[in-house]
Each structure stands twice: as C-alpha cells, then as structure tokens.
Amino acid sequence: MDLANFIDSSYYTLLNTNKCQNELIRSERMCRLDLRRWGIFFIQKNHYYLVAPGDHLDWLIPTQKPRILICHDESTFRSGEMTSRRWMSNETAPFFSKGRGRSLMLSDFMVCHPSGPFFYLNENEWHKTITKYPDLLQNNDINYIDRTSTAAINVGADAYFDNETVLSQFHRLFKMLEFKTDYKDHDIDILVDNARTHTARQYNLNDFGKNIGSRCPVDVIEHYDENDIKKTIQCFFSSGPHQNKSKGLLQLAKELNIILPAKCSLSQLRELLSEDPAFQTKTKLENLAKTFNINIIYSPKFHCELNPIEGLWCNMKRFVRQRNDQQYNTMVLLIEQSRDHFVNIDLYKKLFRRFWQTCEAYRD
C-alpha cells in the first residue's frame, strides 16, 4: 500500500496538479501484480552476476548456470538544456536560451557483467558476425556506434524509435550476441521498458471476425504449445469452395479442437479462444527474441527504479548539462565523453547492486 501511495503522490507532484478523486493512479492490487511477475529474479538470483557489498565493488560469479541481465531503454538529449548554475562575470551572464534546442534520442543497452556496462564486439567478433549476417553492413535510418547495437536518432530529421525501428535494433543485437565470446554458454535476459513501442503485438483476438470471409489481420498464426513445440495454423483456405477466403474464428476454433456450444456468439467464441495458446499472443519483440533463445522481461509500469539503465541517463545528462554551451555539436561530443566517464567511475556496478537490493526490498 505504501508503494501505491508513493506512486500516486509522485504522479500529482510531477504534473503539478491537485488530486480530485479518491482512486489511486496505480492500485495496490496492480502494484502487487506487477511485482509478483518478478518472481523469476528471486528464484534465480544465484544465476546472475552480482556485485558484492562494500566499497570494493567486486563481482560475485554465479554459482549455478550463468545468466546475463541486459537492460534497455531510450532517452532524449536536448542541446538547450544546461545546469541551473552558471558562471557570472562583472554581474553579467552569458546568453541563455530558454528553448530546449535540437534533440538527439539514444537507445542503449547496459549489461550486468564483468566485461563492462556496454555491449560491443571486438574486431574479430565483428568480422565473424558480418560474415554470417552481411545485412548488418547496410545503411538505414538508425545511426549505430561501430560494432555495437547502441543507436541514435536526430529527432526531427531522421526516423523515430517506433516499434519497427526498435525491432530492427534488437534484431541487430540478437545477431551480435551469438559471437560475443564473454557471453558464451550464458543464457540472456533482456529487461525492457513496458512502453507501447516495445509491447506491440502481431495480432489481437478482437481483430478477427467470426465467420468465413470475415476480417483477418494475419495469414498464419504461429504459437508454442505446452511442450514448447512450435505450431502453425493457416488463417485462409488454400483450396476448396472457400479458397483464398479467411476461415474466421468459428472454423479456427474447430481446427484447434475447442468444444463449442450449439449456438455460440462472437463474444463467447472470443472468450473460449482467449484460453488457447494460439491466441495468448506474445509481443513481436518476444517472438523475435525466442528465435534466438533470448528471454524478454518487461519491467512493471511506473517502476523506473526496477530498470538500472535509468541511472545511466541521469549520470550522462548531468555530465552534459554541466559542460554544455547549448550547441548541438558540443552536446553530441559531450554525450560520447559522458559514456566514458560512466565507465571510469564504475557507477554501473552500484546501479545493479541497488537494483537487486530494491527487488529484495519489494519481496520482503
């Protein structure tokens, strides 16, 4: 309940508005549900790389089959943002623009592993990667740091990080992870923000019509059964009197061996099908990750403390603001320097240690 009240008060504080209703922004039940989904961390904590308590920040090696936690998020930097404190000379101050200026949006990954906080490949690993996946050399609307999956977009000039762009970036990462020597024989979990650009689904049960020839958003439904075996269902007739017509939910239910009442309405049909694995749809990102044997974990909504990479953005933006002169090119240079600064001070170890402490606090 304390967590629900904290989220509620923080929401109105950030928006600078007064609360005019009794309901909580995030109910106690939903907070419990969000955190309950994180049981994997409590059960499998010994599988991850951890940071020892104390000032030395030593790594604790997993005692069981090792897993690597990778955190992802996006953030926008604006050239007009500066620190609130400025130098003054002879009671005058340099011109300060109140506008936020040109923007650069970054999409990055932070890794909980002794090899370092940022994912990259060395020359040999990169050569092996592009030999198998030459498409990684093709130019697109995303600007990548060499031999990494760290991406940047000039907001207003380039494309935006929509779902397709995010999928493209993750696809690049999945291909590269295969050749990272330090990650060999490790399972990979990627912690992703629960945003719409990350959680888009291939199809929804409500997008299907009931009868033959009705609306159908996809040609094929692919899913995994209870034995984790991939199954495929064709949504259109390939022959017969209804060739090239959609099957509709009624016919799909029969093919899935679902027992239907004599007279089944569309709402009843959807309710019955919602229990079948074929329509318990995962996100596009989860389906893509599964083809590479990578696990996607969505962080609970309104819980930025449960994604360590948020601390990266805080540190980088503070570094940039303290040195920025409101010029876009200067900001871009400072962003690069802020990443080096972040590595040098070992802050990522403290962030991951705090992350695990936070998880344990919620469990208790």
The model's pLDDT over 239-255, given as tens digits with 9 standing for 90+, comes to: 989 999 999 999 998 88
What is the spatial distance between Cα 173 and Cα 163, in angstroms, rounded to a whole number?
15
Helix (H, G, I), strand (E, B) or coil at 339: helix
- In a domain, residue 328? The reply is yes
- In a domain, residue 272? The reply is yes
Helix (H, G, I), strand (E, B) or coil at 242: coil
Q: If you count them, how many residues does the chain have? A: 364
What is the spatial distance between Cα 146 and Cα 118, in angstroms, rounded to a whole number?
12
Beta bridge partners of 144: 151
What is the spatial distance between Cα 323 and Cα 87, in angstroms, rounded to a whole number?
12
Based on the domain organization, do 121 and 24 belong to the same domain? no
Whether 42 shows a pLDDT value over 90: the answer reads: no
- In a domain, residue 53? The reply is no
Top pLDDT among 293 and 14 is at 293
Helix (H, G, I), strand (E, B) or coil at 120: coil
- In a domain, residue 91? The reply is no
Based on the domain organization, do 295 and 330 belong to the same domain? yes
- In a domain, residue 63? The reply is no
CATH code, domain with 291: 3.30.420.10
Q: What are phi and psi of 136, to 5 degrees?
A: -65, -15
Whether 94 shows a pLDDT value over 70: the answer reads: no
Beta bridge partners of 76: 105
At residue 227's C-alpha, the angle toward residues 224 and 228, to 5°, is: 40
Based on the domain organization, do 275 and 306 belong to the same domain? no
Whether 332 shows a pLDDT value over 80: the answer reads: yes
Based on the domain organization, do 5 and 147 belong to the same domain? no
Per-residue pLDDT tens digits for 182-230: 999 999 999 998 888 888 887 888 888 989 999 998 898 887 777 777 7
How many structural domains does the chain have?
Answer: 3
Based on the domain organization, do 73 and 162 belong to the same domain? yes
Q: Which residue has the tokens 């996946």?
A: 133
- In a domain, residue 57? The reply is no
Average pLDDT over residues 128-152: 90
Based on the domain organization, do 241 and 337 belong to the same domain? no
- In a domain, residue 149? The reply is yes
Based on the domain organization, do 176 and 251 belong to the same domain? no
Whether 35 shows a pLDDT value over 70: the answer reads: no
Based on the domain organization, do 194 and 106 belong to the same domain? yes
Based on the domain organization, do 248 and 150 belong to the same domain? no
The half-sphere exposure of 352 on its side-chain side, counting CA atoms within 13 A, is 27
And the tokens for 89? 């000379």
The half-sphere exposure of 85 on its side-chain side, counting CA atoms within 13 A, is 2
Structural domain harbouring 26:
1-34
> For the chain, what percent of residues have pLDDT higher than 90?
40
And the tokens for 97? 């623009």
The half-sphere exposure of 245 on its side-chain side, counting CA atoms within 13 A, is 14
Based on the domain organization, do 187 and 295 belong to the same domain? yes
Closest CA to 252 of 193, 203, 286, 296: 203
What is the spatial distance between Cα 268 and Cα 242, in angstroms, rounded to a whole number?
25
Top pLDDT among 36 and 171 is at 171
Based on the domain organization, do 258 and 276 belong to the same domain? yes
Which of 280, 295, 316 corresponds to the end of one domain?
A: 280
For the chain, give the longest Cα–Cα distance.
Answer: 89
H runs (alpha helix) in 294-346: 309-323, 328-344
Based on the domain organization, do 172 and 107 belong to the same domain? yes
